[in-house]
Amino acid sequence: MRKVEVTFRPHDKVTRVPEGTTLFNAAHWIGLPIESTCGGRGTCGKCRVRVLAGEVEITPADRRWLSEEELAEGWRLACESVLAGDVECFVPALMRVPKAATMGLSRFVLLEPNVHKVHLVLDPPTLEDARSDVERIRAALEAEGYGVRIELPVLRHLPIVLRTAGFDVTAVLCGEHLVAVEPGDTTDVSYGVAVDVGTTTVVATLMDLTTGAAAGVASNLNAQAPFGADVISRIARTRMEETAAAELQRTVIGTINGLLEEVYAAAGVGPERTYEMVVAGNATMLHLLLGVDAHAISVAPFVPAFREPLDLPAAALGIRIHPEGRIQLLPSIGAYVGADIVAGIQATGLTREPELRLFVDVGTNGEIVLGNADRVLATASPAGPAFEGGHIRAGMRAADGAIEGVSLTEGEVRLQVIGDAEPRGICGSGLIDAVAQLRLAGLLDASGRLVAPEQVPDHPLADRLVELDGMRAFLLAPDVPLTQRDIRELQSAKGAISTGINALMEILGVTAADLHQVLLAGSFGTYINPASARVIGLVPPVPVDRIVAVGNAAGEGAKMALLSFREREMAFDLIRRVEYVELSGQEGFNEAFLQAVRFPELEEVT
């Protein structure tokens, strides 16, 4: 995609963005806020900038808000200014500096939610001023810079609320939707919810939209789990049983509503003051949440029914926020790089910084993003269940009794077991550690083959090498063997992820030395030992201090989109900015995979 250069005065900030980007977004991508109350919809008239050099066409919205003289002087609405070539423009200072909130990943977010509360003291109607209630409220909101759509449920109550409140009311807007008119001044109470719908876990955070602080957080297992552990098995269920799709939708909405009850109770807040929900999740989870058939996601050419950001009434889904509140789904990049990854990219600021960063979400499906402010690539890699303990003889989820860390130094096996219990099995992070430690202890070669005890008779751990069902194995604990087959499973999972990483690095023409950071996302990413991830070649050989766990980046991104319409707009734009790479279409994919299942030579990674 052709890039154009934009220079912002008087800040002297320069950026290069894809052709077709608006001036408003280009400014925001480099952290330069432009005045706005409508969030870039062309309805507030506040985002004026003056074009000093280059061409920006005049749009009908420009004509609505700007005089002929202003237009002739080069003034334009930044949100309407679609860039077709290099531009230099002047940005006036903000009229008021919004509050800011610092989010989990140390990103600074301007507190400008999509939910606006506007206190209005209206003139009561008279015989001389007999405008309708809608005209009256619309005019008052337009005078404040808000264009609105008034829906029937709000209209039904409007005459009564206005009159019982003596025409002293607060209008509540979600974007351009008027979702409530409340008696008196309620501007100091406003909440929203950020939800990350994971295949395994759902997390809801109630945010105070007046302060940017979290008012309550709750998480629970996605109640869809009995329908299948992963997205493919859940989609398969919807093909096998006619009622399954409706049932899956009902179940996940039940999980979300259960979490809402919890956060409301914890914060002493009710649904009637919670006006908006922002949802992140993988594409399948979003399809199932809406009750949309997801079958096409599971078969080539892997097409989702929708990728775009959807703005829906909460009532249509039966989600318990304000009855006229809105649900905003973040967009997906592709069938297997969903809105959770979009939110993660947003949370880490990956597309804003000049430094090159690699973002990896390790799971059954590995999602990989590589890039910086200039160019961003993404791909998905089916790693299979090994990282979650699946297909591993003693594999288990990260629960009490699971080995989560292994050290094989000084001839001793030291285990870190969840819940301080006797070891019952091994979870994904323990598996990565165990294999890395076997490599370092000289008990596993680069091809992934465990040595035989007779090859290392003097090794202090030689007695742990056993034969199990005709297969070599290493005994981590009496009942927890790590078999040759387990190691092969892990190799193929990590091979899938590193094939994806290598493919993206090759397209960008970069090496590990060019990587500023490797970001490990998701709960699994939090528990992986970075040094072990490097030893097994799950991530490129960068210094360990550059491998950073970023936790639930999807949840953080959803919160940011809730608190800041600018962040939300940027997240929406990622659909256009991120280039999706389909791995299975890559030439030499099979050879690359076979190479990637090998472990790196130790001198490269220690």
Q: How far is the CB of 45 from ligand FES (least distance, A)?
A: 5
Contact 518, 505 (CB under 8 A): no
Nearer to ligand FES, 66 or 193 (CB): 66
Q: Judged by CB under 6 A, which stretch of 34-42, 51-59, 206-214, 412-420 contacts ligand FES?
A: 34-42
Q: By three-state DSSP, how is residue 55 classified?
A: coil
Cα dist from 589 to 103, 273, 298, 511, 597, whole Å: 39, 52, 20, 19, 12
Strand partners, 193: 206, 277
Where does this chain touch ligand FES (CB under 6 A) — which range of 32-40, 178-186, 268-276, 549-557? 32-40
Binder of ligand FES out of 6, 27, 79, 497 (CB under 6 A):
79
Closest CB 371 distance from ligand FES, rounded Å: 27
Q: How far is the CB of 66 from ligand FES (least distance, A)?
A: 11
Choose the binding region for ligand FES from 42-50, 125-133, 275-283, 359-367 (rule: CB under 6 A). 42-50
Closest distance to ligand FES from the beta carbon of 120 (Å): 19
Q: How far is the CB of 28 from ligand FES (least distance, A)?
A: 11
**Of 36-44, 410-418, 467-475, 564-572, which part binds ligand FES (CB under 6 A)?**
36-44
Stretch that binds ligand FES, among 39-47, 224-232, 540-548, 573-581 (CB under 6 A): 39-47
- Is 338 one of the binding residues for ligand FES (CB under 6 A)? no
Residue 77 in the binding site for ligand FES (CB under 6 A): yes
In the list 23, 27, 40, 518, the residue contacting ligand FES (rule: CB under 6 A) is: 40
Kindly state the smallest distance separating residue 147's Cβ from ligand FES, in Å: 9
Q: Cβ distance 218 to 262 under 8 Å?
A: yes
Least gap, CB of 295 to ligand FES (angstroms)? 39
> Residue 593 in 3-state DSSP?
helix
Give least dist CB 511 to ligand FES, A. Answer: 42
**Which residue stretch of 43-51, 246-254, 318-326, 587-595 sits at the interface with ligand FES (rule: CB under 6 A)?**
43-51
Q: Distance between CA atoms of 330 and 310, rounded to whole angstroms?
A: 7
- Burial string for 41-68 (b: 16+ CB within 10 Å, else e) reads bbbbbbbbbebeebebeeeebbeebbee
- Closest separation in Å from C-beta 354 to ligand FES: 27
Task: Give the residue with the Cβ less far from ligand FES, 38 or 244.
Answer: 38
Shortest distance, position 34 Cβ to ligand FES, whole Å: 7
Stretch that binds ligand FES, among 37-45, 108-116, 171-179, 468-476 (CB under 6 A): 37-45
Chain CA centroid to CA 180, Å? 29
47 binds ligand FES (CB under 6 A): yes
Identity of the amino acid at 296: A
User: Among the residues of 469-588, which ranges form H helices?
Assistant: 484-508, 522-527, 530-535, 553-563, 565-577
The answer to whether the beta carbons of residues 228 and 291 sit under 8 Å apart is no
36: contact with ligand FES by CB under 6 A: yes
Number of residues that bind ligand FES (CB under 6 A): 11
Is 38 a binding residue for ligand FES by CB under 6 A? The answer is yes
What are the residues whose beta carbons fall under 8 Å from the beta carbon of 542, sequence distance 6 or more? 512, 515, 517, 518, 534
Of the chain, the end-to-end C-alpha distance in Å amounts to 40
As a whole number of angstroms, the distance between CA 176 and CA 486 comes to: 54
Choose the stretch contacting ligand FES; rule: CB under 6 A; options: 38-46, 86-94, 99-107, 240-248. Answer: 38-46
Residue 42 sits in the site that holds ligand FES (CB under 6 A): yes
Residue 44 binds to ligand FES (criterion: CB under 6 A) = yes
361 or 573: CB nearest ligand FES:
573
Contacts of residue 233, defined as CB under 8 A and 6 or more positions apart, other chains included, come to 227
Tell me the closest approach of the beta carbon of residue 35 to ligand FES, in angstroms. Answer: 8
Beta strands 177-183 and 168-174: pairing type?
Answer: antiparallel
Residue the block writes with tokens 């509140």: 325
Site for ligand FES in 195-214 (CB under 6 A): none
Q: Is 45 in the site for ligand FES (CB under 6 A)?
A: yes
DSSP 3-state of 505: helix
Q: Is the dihedral of CA 36, 37, 43, 46 positive or negative?
A: negative
Asked if 378 is part of the footprint of ligand FES (rule: CB under 6 A), the reply reads no
Residues 333/342, Cβ–Cβ less than 8 Å: yes
Residue closer to ligand FES (CB basis): 38 or 231 = 38
Q: Which residues contact 296 (CB under 8 A, 6 or more apart)?
A: 302, 303, 304, 305
Q: Which residues bind ligand FES (CB under 6 A)?
A: 36, 38, 40, 42-47, 77, 79
